[in-house]
Amino acid sequence: MIRPLVILSLLPAALLYGCVSAEERLEKGNAYYSEENYEMALNCYFEARSADPNLPGIDERIRTAELRASIQRGDRAVERQDWETAERAYGDARRQDPASQEVAECLRRLAAARADASFQRGQQLMAEGNPFDAVGEFEQVLVLLPEHSGAARALDRARREKVERETWAEVLFQDGKRARSAGRHEEAIQYFTRALERNPHHEAGRQGLLEVEAEFARALEAKGENHMERQEWSQASDAFREALKHDAGLQHLELRIVQAGNEARADEIAAEGQAALERKDWQAAHDRYKEARALTRMSDRYRSQFETARERLADHLYSRALGAENARQYESALRDYSAILDVFPSYRDAGPKHSRLQEALATAAGSYEAGCQAQENLDLVEAEKQFRTCSAAIAAYRDVQYRLAMVRDGIGRAKTFYDRAVEAERREEYHRARVLLEECIAITTPFQDAAQRIASIQQALAAIEKAEQLYQDACRAQGEKDLQLAQKLFASSQESRAAYKDTGRRLDEIRASLDTAGKIYRRALEAELDCQLERAIALYEECLAISSPYIDAGSRLDQVRTSWQALGEARELDGERRLAAALEKYEIVVAKHDCSPEVRRRVQAIRQLCKQLAIRYEAMLKAQEKEDHPAALAAAREIRRECKGYKDVDSRVPWLESEVEYAEGLALEEKAQFGEAARYFEECEKRTPGFRDAGTRLEHCRSQASDPPGILGSSAE
């Protein structure tokens, strides 16, 4: 049987611990032990024994550390009142040393602590007036610690109070039944509620309360409907709300409450409408009656008042619209005609008048807005066109005549600047011509071909400045060692203006440097193709030191550095037996470079080993399918010995170990060797909690074994 904490001992000691000796591991474990860090001490002892199985006294130190670690885990679990964990930990300690008085004392303290916790919960429940649950806590105290002081008296008091509460609750329940039978629903609700306060576990009282509340809610609903028929909206709403309190399932009453509120609000709003009629506020009267009619579900309510208010409002608006139209207040008149059509669509000739005025205003407004926008954008030609259209639709529309005069004046000034600019351009006075044209388009744009003329002048001026700018840029690129760009810029400068400054000399220097960089670049390519990665890195760096960037030297340098790093990582992973990851890194390098024979041989060897591992993995899966768990476990361990982290082997091993131990336990159980079987089932349960029925079989074997079970303690202990 393999302990979980010593699973690392299966690996070669030299690989796992390197140069650390067994004695050093032992001393480190002793230091942890003196600090009462027993878990770490135990790990160090296991490592020491793995490094040297013949180390004197190591087995005794492991047994002592295991016992102290189990007791320490139990003590910590007791402190946080994790009773199940404490029982398991002390049970482990009992199995490690069945005769230990210290472990027996720990189990006694555990029982006492659990009993005290249950006693305190019982006392708290009694203080909260809950003797029903308190009885169970006090009974648990006496099971754990029969000699507990006060538990028996507390249990007796809790039982008496429980019986008293049950008796009172039954009396109140019977009173509630009689009140319900007599139709006194509210009184019955009070009795049932008080009965449940006395005894929350009185199911008949709970059911009776639900039923009587439902009956009372239906009675309240009927009462509310009667109030609705008599138009007693407030009383109806109160009855429906009260019914919902007693039966939340009557969701349809929410709508009835809303309807009652709407009807009440409609009456209030109609009263406001009547007051508005009396003071001749036709708009307010119309709006109030319209709002009231929208709230009520009775279509004939407030009809006549609404019609009266609507007709008087339309008369008032029509008279005001005619007056506004005569005074050339067209927008105001249109608003009044629109208002008439909103409240009274068939009123007199309001419709035709509205259509004619709306069309004229739309034309004038659209043209005016377009003209103002064009004027704001300095497009005076378009602005003049739009303002003429607006004036034709409505001559007195806003300030259209004033704007039209301003636009025409601006167009005349722009024409003067344009004519002067054309004369200056003919004389090749480009700067003066550009200024005049800019003044022209500052007044209005577009204007004839002013923009095109400015562009042409700009090209002429730019051609003069181009040679100087190219030269300056080329000098800057040469200073920054971007020789390819510098060569291109000097050549362009020379094309724009022949023999400009020292362009020729600089071009010769740059071409010589680029030729040197090219030779180094070609050597770097050859080194890269031969997988001389370190040499290629140095050559690419030297090439870029002459000219950066240079063709693809930068990207190739990054690629070679990546390959060099991948090769180093592959060798490191290979040394750690992480073959899949190592092969992936090797293949990155091999795919890009013609690597050395040593690397190619190692890649081939790893590929071959991976094929063998795949065969073993398939054999493991087939053995597991056939439930030949020992064979599957052997195959899994063989794979782990060859390669770390292969597929899901690491996660399968614990389960397969549990399968093997479980089968061993079953065989021993059939032979009635219950003590031995229990140890196998216990290991199985510890490694894989909940595995099959290992827990149940463990308890069965313990109960059948001749030795005491020792995990939870017996009554004799």
Question: pLDDT band at residue 712, thresholds of 50, 70 and 90?
Answer: very low
How far is the C-alpha of 400 from the C-alpha of 408, rounded, in Å? 12
pLDDT confidence of residue 370: 93
Give the residue carrying structure tokens 């032979």. Answer: 671
3-state SS class at 377: coil
- Name the more confident of 716 and 193: 193
CB neighbour list of residue 459: distance below 8 Å, 6 or more residues apart? none
Cis peptide bond upstream of 4, omega within 30: no
pLDDT confidence of residue 10: 39
How far is the C-alpha of 479 from the C-alpha of 457, rounded, in Å? 34
Kindly report, residue by residue over 637-662, the tens digit of the pLDDT: 888 888 877 888 888 888 888 888 88
Describe the crossing of helices 58-79 and 83-96 by its angle, rounded to 10 degrees: 160
pLDDT higher than 60, residue 6 = no
In this prediction, residues 190-195 reach a mean pLDDT of 80
In this prediction, residues 680-699 reach a mean pLDDT of 87
pLDDT higher than 50, residue 572 = yes
Give the residue carrying structure tokens 């024409």. Answer: 415
Question: pLDDT band at residue 159, thresholds of 50, 70 and 90?
Answer: confident
Kindly report, residue by residue over 538-570, the tens digit of the pLDDT: 988 888 888 888 888 888 888 888 887 777 787
CB neighbour list of residue 49: distance below 8 Å, 6 or more residues apart? 6, 9, 22, 55, 58, 59, 62
| pTM of the model as a whole | 0.31
pLDDT confidence of residue 372: 94
Q: DSSP of 199-253, one letter per residue? A: -TT-HHHHHHHHHHHHHHHHHHHHHHHHHHHTT-HHHHHHHHHHHHHH-TT-THH
**What angle is formed at CA 446 by the lines to CA 445 and CA 447, rounded to 5 degrees?**
100
Give the residue carrying structure tokens 């739309």. Answer: 362
How far is the C-alpha of 495 from the C-alpha of 468, rounded, in Å? 12
In this prediction, residues 242-253 reach a mean pLDDT of 79
Describe the crossing of helices 649-670 and 674-687 by its angle, rounded to 10 degrees: 160
- Name the more confident of 441 and 710: 441
How far is the C-alpha of 86 from the C-alpha of 504, rounded, in Å? 92
Which among 596, 608, 598, 533 is positioned nearest to 565, based on CA atoms?
A: 533
Cα torsion through 551, 546, 495, 470, rounded to 10: 100
Question: pLDDT band at residue 263, thresholds of 50, 70 and 90?
Answer: confident
Length of the chain: 717
In this prediction, residues 151-174 reach a mean pLDDT of 79
Give the residue carrying structure tokens 């708290």. Answer: 124
pLDDT confidence of residue 647: 81
Percentage helix, strand, coil for the chain under 3-state DSSP, each rounded to 5: 80, 0, 20
How far is the C-alpha of 352 from the C-alpha of 357, rounded, in Å? 9
Kindly report, residue by residue over 371-399, the tens digit of the pLDDT: 999 888 888 888 888 888 988 888 778 88
- Name the more confident of 128 and 273: 273
Give the up-direction half-sphere exposure of residue 219: CA atoms within 13 A in the CB hemisphere.
Answer: 11
Query: What does residue 691 show for φ and ψ, rounded to 5 degrees?
Result: -70, 120
pLDDT higher than 90, residue 435 = yes
Lowest mean pLDDT among 110-114, 204-208, 460-464: 460-464
Lowest mean pLDDT among 29-43, 323-337, 569-583, 662-676: 569-583
How far is the C-alpha of 7 from the C-alpha of 276, rounded, in Å? 95
Give the residue carrying structure tokens 């611990």. Answer: 17
pLDDT higher than 70, residue 5 = no
How far is the C-alpha of 33 from the C-alpha of 654, rounded, in Å? 29
Q: What is the CA radius of gyration of the chain?
A: 50
Kindly report, residue by residue over 15-62, the tens digit of the pLDDT: 344 467 888 888 888 898 888 888 898 899 898 899 888 888 888 888
How far is the C-alpha of 645 from the C-alpha of 360, rounded, in Å? 86
Query: Structure tokens of 586?
Result: 């090797």
Beta strands (DSSP E) in 374-447 are: none
Which H or E run includes 56? none
Tell me the domains of the chain and their CATH numbers: 4-170 (1.25.40.10), 181-344 (no CATH)
pLDDT higher than 70, residue 717 = no
